[in-house]
Amino acid sequence: QRPSHLDPNFTGAPTSLHPLSTSTNERTMVKCAVNGFGRIGRLVFRYAFDDPTLELVHVNDLCSLESAAYLVKFDSVHGTWDKEVEVAGDDSFTVDGKPVTFSQKADYTEVDWASMGVEMVMECTGKFLKVKNLSPYFDKCGVKRVVVSAPVKEAEALNVVLGCNHGLLKEEQRLVTNASCTTNCLAPVVKVIKENFGIRHGCITTIHDVTGTQTLVDMPNTKKSDLRRARSGMLNLCPTSTGSATAIVEIYPELKGKLNGLAVRVPVLNGSITDCVFEVERSVTVDEVNEALKKASEEGPLKGILGYETRPLVSTDYINEMRSSVIDAPSTQVIDGTMVKIYAWYDNEAGYSKRMAELCNIVASRYIAGVEEAFKYE
């Protein structure tokens, strides 16, 4: 029997999170919208829909209304959503009878966010990665907070990995990001190794499933600087770049210049694994490393975010994995005492989107609604 966190119908919070007992109708709801209804936007919408603080009122995407309603209901990887989704008129769809309006604007400033009372936007297009491109949300649209589904590497934005640096959240930060999926996988591992053994330097390779930046058949793609992504994603192993290792500096500034890495895109639809190699500051054993990782998965701020697995599982077993990172304990190696190799599994869509929905709850609860957040990390 699959554990609950691997169940495709499981939508509950990880065990380290403590949903409030207060019923929804007793809470102040924050009106939210999703800009960009792709793989991540739709899953964030799913996971945030029943949130006690977030009221999802609008979606903006270039796809058709019919496609938006259809694809949020039916997903080839993550299964059918247990909600009734129907198109309602020319500019809205309903989820279990609740109306959600819909627009098709390439320029988000053309959406009348203010008239809908939208206070927070979940920015999931992956297109706006500079503060100057996100500032109009506040300056022109009247939005109070924006949470971005990609890292923004500028001082004005706070890149957050829950369980690692969420303590840096402050009221004055209107723009926060959920970092990247691979950074969410890597940061918990880095945290444990850094705090227990010290890190001199390291490199990572993410064995990553295909994404929309690749092509189904050989043809030019949108990432013109990376010709390998123009080759069929379903037939090839494609070495490519990843910013996750260098982006870890946004979470742990003291590691600047000490980590780097690459990605290999592989022909599977879901289920990825990160190969982490660190040179640590003192001699360690495999048992010491695994014990530190196991302990971190069971208590403290990483409980429910970092997992620890001893069974011989494979990538499909991690589809719909809600934790950010799961250690493949039998694969841990130590070479010559100080070189440590760790495998960490992750669902780069589901786990990441779940964290983003939780981050949105924290931001909206603390800084807009003025209520206690529904998700807490020790």
36: in domain = yes
The domain that holds 283 is classified in CATH as 3.30.360.10
Helical segments of the chain, H only = 39-48, 65-73, 131-134, 136-139, 181-197, 244-251, 286-298, 350-364
Report the predicted TM-score, pTM, of the whole model to 2 decimal places.
Answer: 0.91
Euclidean distance between CA atoms 376 and 90, whole angstroms: 39
Is 242 a known ligand-binding residue?
A: yes
Counted residue by residue, the chain has a size of 378
H helix or E strand, kind and range, residue 207: strand 199-209
Mean pLDDT (the chain, rounded) = 92
Using 50, 70 and 90 to split pLDDT, how confident is the model at 246? confident
Which of 32, 34, 28 minimizes the C-alpha distance to 118? 32
Secondary structure of 147-204 as H, E, C letters: EECCCCCCCCCEECCCCCCHHHCCCCCCEEECCCHHHHHHHHHHHHHHHHHCEEEEEE
Res 308: pLDDT: 99
Domain assignment present for 376: no
Of 133, 125, 170, 169, the closest CA to residue 150 belongs to 125
Q: Of 331, 317, 349, whose CA–CA distance to 209 is shortest?
A: 349
241 and 100 in a single domain? The answer is no
Q: What is the pLDDT of residue 369?
A: 92
| Residue 310 counted as an annotated binding residue | no
- The answer to whether position 378 is within a domain reads no
Angle between helices 181-197 and 350-364 (to 10 degrees): 80
Which has the minimum average pLDDT: 50-59, 221-230, 237-246?
221-230
- 137/154 Cα distance (integer angstroms): 17
Looking up tokens 């009878």, which residue turns up? 97
Specify if 377 maps to a domain: no
Task: Please give the average per-residue pLDDT across 182-209, as a whole number.
Answer: 98
- Position 9 pLDDT exceeds 60: no
What amino acid occupies position 130?
K
So what's the pLDDT on residue 7?
Answer: 37
The amino acid at residue 355 is: R
Strand 92-95 and strand 259-266: the pairing is unpaired
Domain contains 147:
yes
Residues 46 and 116 in one domain: yes
Residue positions annotated with a catalytic role: 181
Is residue 46 part of an annotated ligand binding site?
no
Helix, coil or strand: residue 209: strand
Asked if the model's pLDDT at residue 147 lies above 90, the reply is yes
d(CA 136, CA 140): 5
| Pair (188, 164) in one structural domain | no
Residues 203 and 143 reside in one and the same domain: no
CB 180 within 8 A of CB 243: yes
pLDDT over 70 (residue 2): no
Position 15 scores a pLDDT of 33
Judge contact between 239 and 228, C-beta under 8 A.
Answer: yes
Instruction: Give residues with Cβ within 8 angstroms of 75, minimum separation 6.
Output: 42, 81
The better pLDDT of the pair 371, 21 is held by 371
Terminal-residue alpha carbon distance, the chain: 30
Residues 326 and 213 in one domain: yes
pLDDT tens digits, 279-331: 999 999 999 999 999 999 999 999 999 999 999 999 999 999 999 999 999 99
In a domain, 375, yes or no: no
Same domain, 159 and 271: no
Q: Is 63 marked as binding a ligand?
A: no
CB 350 within 8 A of CB 325: no
Task: Judge contact between 207 and 265, C-beta under 8 A.
Answer: no
Is 61 one of the annotated binding-site residues? yes
Q: Which amino acid is at 299?
A: E
Range of the domain at 241: 182-348
CATH assignment at residue 16: 3.40.50.720
- Distance, in Å, from the CA atom of 259 to the CA atom of 142, rounded to the nearest integer, reads 39
Predicted confidence at residue 193, as pLDDT, reads 99
pLDDT tens-digit map of 148-187 = 999 999 999 999 999 999 999 999 999 999 999 999 999 9
How far apart are alpha carbons 349 and 358 in whole angstroms? Answer: 14
